[in-house]
Structure 1
Amino acid sequence: MSPCPVYLFRSPAFAPSGDTVVSLAPLDRVVAVYGGGGIWGEGGLSSAFGGVAVFKNDTSGERFVGVWGSRNAARFRRELQAHMPTAIHKEAPDARLVFRQAEGERPEKAGRS
């Protein structure tokens, strides 16, 4: 099996600051790691990280899924690397964001009301 391409880049699409870290991999490789939960099911990517981002290459139809936020992105890469060889690409794939979902609200930081 060839190494799984894992994309690591910054995107303006996830926060007002416009500098959010995003990490993506091809859909089939991510589903292989998250088993029956796939992307949205119990035990899937969305439940493991509290959200999911889906990118699509309009020409080839290839889909990439992943997470955003530096901690989530690092954990996502570690979990993929634990299951298969990976190749990190420090750039966005040739694809556009087509969907993102975040579950629930962010917890308040201590000291904020």
Structure 2
Amino acid sequence: MTGDDVVRVTRTLRAASRDEVTGEYPVVEPPHRLVFTWTAGTTEGQPTRVTVTLGATAAAGTDGDGEWTEMTVLRERLPTPRTSTGASAAWRDLADKPADHLARAGDRPD
């Protein structure tokens, strides 16, 4: 989905800040790329742009169960250096969550 097919979404994050976030998804290219805008109080009401790209990586090789997937998150148009620092920390924390979840799921008996 690209071009004129834009999905508009409003969502409220249930984080400590309870920041209301609005955005649009102008590019959705399953299963490899997602581009969305992110406008919130933490961005001083300015729209930022987030691009998430997923792809196979040769860096880690395989773990015996298949290939590894690399997730790249690019956050652009941040209004201030402080916003950039906060966004970097938040996205790093978020990026760790799928790995943590999958590790816990792998430890559960079927």
TM-score (norm 2): 0.29
Larger Cα-atom Rg:
2
Higher relative contact order by CA 8 Å / sep ≥ 6: 1 or 2? 1
TM-score (norm 1): 0.28
Decide which structure has greater strand share. 2
